[in-house]
Amino acid sequence: MADDIRRIYSILKYCDDIEETINRFGEDEEDFTDDNAYQYTCSFCVAQIGEAIKSLSPELRERYPEVRWKGFSGMRDIITHGYERINLRIVWLTITEDIPELKRICKNILNELNPS
């Protein structure tokens, strides 16, 4: 359980990093597609989130089926092993739609696992 809590905190940190990156570079998809540094920063964070998710216990992942755990870990694999195959539109939708939802759910998970 302690390992899961530590990994959830890690996921939240990378969600925050993505949010800060969006605030810094711009909230427009065109800003994202036109700037390699923006793309690389967010892709790295998404990959790190996927890596942390892969290390979560099966019990935790089963307890929260509303999270698309496999989607995030699959995205990590694409970013890590085949960057040329990345669809920037999918990354954009991930960072602007899926990451905020993941962040919200992870905060709820922490409140349930570590209520103090």
Amino acid in position 12: L
Three-state secondary-structure class, residue 31: helix
Catalytic residue among 24, 76, 89, 104: 76
Q: What are the two backbone dihedrals, phi and then psi, of residue 67, each rounded to the nearest 5 degrees?
A: -90, 135
Q: Which of 56, 38, 45, 41 is nearest to 106 (CA)?
A: 56
Catalytic residue among 7, 61, 68, 81: 81
Identify whether 104 is a catalytic site residue: no
Identify whether 85 is a catalytic site residue: no
Annotated catalytic residues are: 76, 81
